């Protein structure tokens, strides 16, 4: 009897420790910013500039103040799709492909366009050559019921309940400020579909918000990168499947985070187990989806390089 009690107590402590570890891990994943987030890149560049100036020839004051040579910089701004912890990191894919560019990951989990508009200062301070913006999935998620809306409202300190007009206004603010305060070429990406069921209202809602992105890009004369359209075209070209239903996405997201962060399971394995082709848990992208995003941004950057040479 005593041994049974001790065994039960041991198991209880084990599962309690596992639970605490899970909470701490997921919390860390949420708040820990990417190593290449704008403030860290800015600090690194300042140090490099000081080191360059310290070793410069002292023939004249002018020569000692010349800025350190640097590669062109692209800032990729957005939410968890860009942050790349529970979604395959397309910024890392770009960095591997484009060795002649530097990249800064300005993605933060769970954010809406309102939050991105409120944290542009470090991005502007970097004086980037290009900025890509992929934001809006959480704006869409926040429209799926009062409970979800209130959750985002409280978590992100929003001034009003998320809606399409609120999203359009904040996306426009982001673009206009970047145009006004930087010399960067700017590209807006449409968000991936939510889920892979073409007949579900979540899929159709992303179409509505992608249209807003396209309209803002046209009105502000910046580049539009059709991520949603490319993903949808790919899904239409392959045999259909029976992916996880929409009402299971929240549970799938929590399980994906646990399996990936605690047990090292790849996001592509999790994606396959959920029956998706491009998504991991109905929201975030697997390697195929992230590669499509990287393809579009790479093409945008390459086209700018060709324009300069011409």
Domains and CATH numbers, the chain: 68-238+286-309 (3.40.50.1110)
Half-sphere exposure of residue 105: CA atoms within 13 angstroms, side-chain side: 24
Q: For the chain, which residues score pLDDT lower than 50? A: 5, 11-12, 14-30, 59-64
Which pLDDT score is estimated for 68? Answer: 57
Residue 37: how many other CB atoms lie within 10 Å:
19
**Phi, psi (degrees; rounded to nearest 5) at 35:** -60, -25
Residue corresponding to tokens 């800032």: 75
3-state secondary structure the chain: CHHHHHHHHHHHHHHHHHHHHHHHHHHHHHHCCCCCCHHHHHHHHHHHHHHHHHCCCCCCHHHHCCCCCCCCEEEEEECHHHHCCCCCCHHHHHHHHCCCCEEEEEECCCCCHHHHHCCCHHHHHCCCCEEEEECCHHHHHCCCCHHHHHHHHHHCCCCCCCCHHHHHHHHHHHHHHHHHHCCCEEEEECCCCCCCCCCCHHHHHHHHHHHHHHHHHHHHCCEEECHHHHHHHHHHCCCCCCCCCHHHHHHHHHHHHHHHHCCCCCHHHHHHHCCCCCECCCCCECHHHHHHHHHHHHHHHHHHHHHHHC
pTM for this model (two decimals)? 0.85
| pLDDT at residue 147 in the model | 87
Q: Quote the CA–CA distance of 142 and 115 in Å, as a whole number.
A: 14
**Residue 275 tokens, joined:** 């029956």
Contact 116, 87 (CB under 8 A): no
Query: Would the CA dihedral through 147, 149, 153, 155 be positive or negative?
Result: positive
Tell me if 182 sits within 8 A of 129, measured CB to CB: no
- Please check whether residue 194 is in contact with residue 281, taking contact to mean a CB–CB distance below 8 angstroms: no
For residue 146 the two structure tokens come to: 């009062």
Burial of 237 (0-12, 13-18, 19+ CB in 10 A): exposed
Residue 132 β-bridge partners: 76, 187
What is the maximum span of the chain, computed from C-alpha positions, in angstroms? Answer: 86
């Amino acid at each position: 009897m005593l041994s049974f009690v001790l065994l039960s107590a041991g198991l209880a402590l084990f599962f309690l420790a596992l639970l605490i570890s899970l909470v701490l891990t997921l919390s860390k994943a949420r708040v820990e910013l990417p190593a290449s987030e704008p403030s860290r890149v800015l600090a690194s560049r300042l140090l490099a500039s000081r080191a360059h100036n310290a070793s410069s020839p002292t023939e004249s004051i002018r020569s000692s103040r010349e800025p350190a040579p640097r590669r062109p910089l692209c800032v990729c701004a957005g939410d968890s799709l860009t942050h790349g912890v529970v979604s395959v990191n397309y910024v890392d894919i770009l960095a591997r492909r484009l060795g002649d560019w530097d990249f800064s990951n300005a993605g933060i989990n769970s954010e809406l366009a309102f939050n991105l508009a409120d944290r542009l200062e470090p991005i502007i301070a970097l004086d980037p050559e290009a900025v890509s913006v992929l934001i809006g999935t959480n704006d869409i998620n926040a429209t799926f019921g009062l409970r979800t809306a209130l959750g985002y409202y409280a978590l992100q300190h929003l001034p009003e309940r998320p809606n399409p007009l609120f999203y359009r206004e904040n996306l426009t603010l982001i673009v206009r400020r970047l145009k006004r305060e930087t010399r960067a070429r700017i590209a807006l990406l449409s968000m991936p579909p939510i889920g892979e069921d073409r007949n579900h209202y979540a899929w159709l809602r992303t179409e509505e918000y992608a249209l807003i992105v396209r309209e803002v890009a046209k009105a502000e004369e910046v580049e539009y990168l059709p991520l949603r359209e490319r993903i949808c075209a790919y899904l239409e070209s392959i045999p259909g499947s029976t992916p996880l239903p929409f009402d299971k996405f929240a549970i799938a997201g929590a399980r994906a985070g646990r399996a990936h962060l605690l047990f090292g399971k790849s996001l592509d394995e999790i994606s396959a187990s959920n029956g998706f082709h491009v998504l991991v848990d109905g929201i975030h992208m697997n390697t195929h989806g992230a590669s499509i995003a990287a393809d579009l941004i790479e093409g945008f950057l390459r086209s700018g390089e060709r324009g300069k040479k011409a």
